[in-house]
Amino acid sequence: MATTVLERPSLLSSTSGSESYRGFCNLLHVVLAIGSFRLVLENILKYGLLVEFNWPLRFIKDPTNWPSVLLIILVNIFILIQFWLEVRLSRCSSRVYSFLFQMINLSSILIFPALYINHCQPNPAGAFIAVCSYSIVFLKLVSYTHVNYRCRQDLFEKKHDGIKQIKDCVVYPQNLTLRNLYYFIFAPTLCYQLNFPRSPCIRKNFICRRFAEILIIFSLQYCLSQQWILPILRTLDRPLNQYSILENIERLLRLALPNHFIWLLLFYAYFHSTLNLLAELLCFGDRLFYRDWWNATDLYEFW
């Protein structure tokens, strides 16, 4: 007796319902690894080994790097001024003038590094790190000032009457200590809270893994930029507007692949390894530093 075969679509058809393409993903990984390895060999054979391994010594010996280090240290002055003004405001002394000085201090955090860099002309890489540090401190102090302002309003308006203090929880103005402020400055978050979620202990194996990841990934980024990107940039012997459109597109496409590699490595090294390392050292409990941007369906969701 003949059996009836039902209508069946091909597995690659949209109507098949099959969503498992693990084998294709593995094949793409193999192709990517082979292609990348070939590019590495071709690059070394063409340009030689360009990576300089003595950059830490050159950084120390280069006097243009030290102004950036001093600039990062000087940010503590603005942090301490903001803390002192917060303490004055908590005591109801000269609230209008203290608040005005707070705004001036916050504005100075953005203006001072620009003036300092323009005057000292430090190394661009170190100046970039210093400016990023000042930007982070500015955002943190804005949040710190705003949260304390809300707590101060609740305290002065007696909105907290009848609310019992939870055991081991800090309440305003008990949070106005240098230890509390500097914990927030080093914590991997831009949003201030009087009581942060805390992890129970520091895991040494976790710290070692994250530290090893940081060393390996940043070393790989350095090698990629020295060995892959710089040779392409050195081929530019005249301004871009003197090249044809096709020549410019060709160079952009050659730079696209290493730039994507470095961008992905930077994401993992900073948002995962570095922030998790800081959080573990500080017993900081909230580790949701990023969401699944790789599944974003539009640019707004991506950012």
Which pLDDT value is given to residue 221? 85
Contacts of 199 (CB under 8 A, 6+ apart): 279, 280, 283, 284, 285
For 168-176, what is the mean pLDDT? 86
How many Cβ atoms are within 10 Å of 105's Cβ, its own excluded?
19
> Which pTM does this prediction carry?
0.77
Partners of 284 in beta bridges: 198
Which pLDDT value is given to residue 29? 79
Which pLDDT value is given to residue 161? 54
Which of 1-5, 87-91, 103-107, 259-263 shows the lowest mean pLDDT across its residues? 1-5
Q: Which of 94, 74, 76, 75 is nearest to 85 (CA)?
A: 94
Residue type, 251: R
Most confidently predicted of 35-39, 67-71, 163-167, 224-228: 67-71
Contacts of 289 (CB under 8 A, 6+ apart): 188, 271, 272, 275, 276
Contacts of 108 (CB under 8 A, 6+ apart): 78
Query: Would you say residue 75 has pLDDT above 60?
Result: yes
Query: Would you say residue 3 has pLDDT above 70?
Result: no
Residue 254: both structure tokens together: 């050659």
Q: What is the per-residue burial (b if ≥16 Cβ within 10 Å, else e) of 259-275?
A: eebbeebeeebbebbbb
Q: How far is CA 187 from CA 15, 179, 191, 195, 268, in A?
A: 49, 12, 10, 12, 18
Q: Where are the domains of the chain?
A: 62-186, 204-295
Partners of 198 in beta bridges: 284
CA 119-124-130 angle, to 5 degrees, is 80
Residue 240 · residue 62 · CB < 8 Å: no
